[in-house]
C-alpha cells in the first residue's frame, strides 16, 4: 500500500487529504473482502466481490456520493495493481458508479456573511487572526486546505494577490480585495509575531504558534456563527460556495469564476448557476411585497 500511496502523491499529484481518504476507503474495502471471502491477494478478487461490497454499503444506507468516491478509490487501486503486474485484469474497470443525488450546496446571504465577520470582536492577536481568516477565505473563495497551507511568502499585499497551490499541485493567482488586504496587513504587523513560536512559515497560526488546523478553524466558525445568530451549520466550504454565488449574482462570467476557484472542469463551476438562481428566487419570495399572497 505504501507504493500506491507514493504513486498517488508523486504520479497523480493528489492532495494529502484526498490520499488519506482513498487509503481509508481501500482499508475498509480490504477488510470486507478478507472477512467475507477470506481473500488476501488482489489477483483473486472478482467483479462479484466488488459488487457485493457495493450492496453492503447500500444496505448501510451510505450516500451515493460516498459510494461513488469509494468505488473510484477501488478502481484506481485495481488499475495500479494491473500496471504493477500484481493481477492480469482490472475487474473493477467497467463497474458503474451509483447515480449521485443532485443537492445544491448551502450558501450564506451577503448580510449573513457581514454579520459573521463582524462577530469577531476585540483587537487581541487571535481576534485579528480570525478577522484575516474570514476576509481571505470569503474574499478569495479559497478551499480550507488552500487557506491553511498558505505561507507568508504566498501573500503579496502590494500587488494585491495571493499565490495558491491547489489540487494536483496546480498554482494559480487569486486577487485580494481591499478588506482582505487591510485585515492581512493588520494581522501580519500586529498579531502574527505574537503568536509565532520559532521558525514557522505558515500564515495562520494557533495560540500555540503552530499551523492552524482544520478542526481549529471549524471551531472558530461555529463559535462566530453562534454569536452572529446564524442558525445554519457554517463550514469553510460554505464560505467558498457563498463567494462563488455572490460573484455570479454580481455578473461575473463562468470562465472567470472557474479560474478563481481553481476548477479543472467548468461543469463543476456550473453548479453555482443553479445555486444563484435558487438564491435569487428565495430572496425575491421573502422580500418582494407582491411575491406571495397575503395571509
Considering 9, 69, 167, 222, which one is annotated as catalytic?
167
3-class secondary-structure state, position 162: strand
Nearest alpha-carbon partner for 95 in 60, 157, 52: 52
Considering 240, 241, 246, 279, which one is annotated as catalytic?
240
For residue 160, what are the contacts with CB-CB under 8 A and spacing of at least 6? 175, 176, 181
**String of DSSP letters for 67-123:** HHHHHHHHHHHHHHHHHTTS-S--TTTTPPPPPPP--PPP---HHHHHHHHHT----
Per-residue exposure over 144-163, b if at least 16 CB sit within 10 Å of its own CB, e if not: bbbbbbbeeebbeeeeebbe
Is 172 known to be catalytic? no
Considering 143, 192, 241, 279, which one is annotated as catalytic?
143
3-class secondary-structure state, position 240: helix
Is 167 known to be catalytic? yes
Is 202 known to be catalytic? no
Is 263 known to be catalytic? yes
Is 279 known to be catalytic? no
Is 156 known to be catalytic? no
Considering 185, 223, 237, 281, which one is annotated as catalytic?
237
Considering 53, 187, 202, 272, which one is annotated as catalytic?
272
- State the catalytic residues: 143, 167, 237, 240, 263, 272
Amino acid at each position: 500500500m505504501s507504493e500506491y500511496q507514493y504513486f498517488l502523491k508523486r504520479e497523480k499529484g493528489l492532495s494529502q487529504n484526498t490520499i488519506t481518504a482513498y487509503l481509508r476507503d481501500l482499508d475498509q474495502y480490504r477488510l470486507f473482502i478478507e472477512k467475507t471471502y477470506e481473500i488476501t491477494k488482489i489477483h483473486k478478487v472478482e467483479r462479484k466481490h466488488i459488487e457485493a461490497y457495493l450492496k453492503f454499503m447500500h444496505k448501510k444506507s451510505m450516500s451515493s456520493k460516498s459510494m461513488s468516491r469509494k468505488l473510484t478509490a477501488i478502481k484506481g487501486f485495481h488499475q495500479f495493481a494491473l500496471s504493477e503486474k500484481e493481477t492480469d485484469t482490472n475487474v473493477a474497470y467497467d463497474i458503474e458508479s451509483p447515480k449521485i443525488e443532485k443537492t445544491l450546496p448551502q450558501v450564506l446571504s451577503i448580510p449573513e456573511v457581514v454579520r459573521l465577520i463582524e462577530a469577531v470582536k476585540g483587537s487581541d492577536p487571535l481576534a485579528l487572526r480570525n478577522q484575516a481568516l474570514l476576509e481571505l477565505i470569503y474574499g478569495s473563495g479559497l478551499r480550507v486546505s488552500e487557506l491553511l497551507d498558505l505561507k507568508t511568502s504566498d501573500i503579496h499585499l502590494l500587488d494585491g494577490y495571493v499565490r495558491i497551490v491547489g489540487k494536483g499541485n496546480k498554482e494559480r493567482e487569486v486577487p485580494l480585495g481591499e478588506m482582505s488586504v487591510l485585515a492581512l496587513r493588520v494581522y501580519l504587523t500586529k498579531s502574527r509575531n505574537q503568536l509565532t513560536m520559532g521558525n514557522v512559515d505558515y500564515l495562520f497560526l494557533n495560540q500555540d504558534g503552530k499551523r492552524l488546523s482544520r478542526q481549529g478553524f471549524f471551531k472558530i466558525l461555529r463559535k462566530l456563527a453562534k454569536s452572529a445568530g446564524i442558525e445554519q451549520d457554517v463550514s469553510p466550504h460554505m464560505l467558498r460556495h457563498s463567494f462563488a454565488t455572490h460573484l455570479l449574482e454580481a455578473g461575473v462570467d463562468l470562465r472567470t469564476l472557474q479560474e478563481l476557484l481553481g476548477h479543472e472542469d467548468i461543469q463543476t463551476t456550473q453548479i453555482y448557476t443553479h445555486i444563484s438562481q435558487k438564491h435569487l428566487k428565495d430572496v425575491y419570495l421573502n422580500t418582494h411585497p407582491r411575491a406571495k399572497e397575503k395571509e
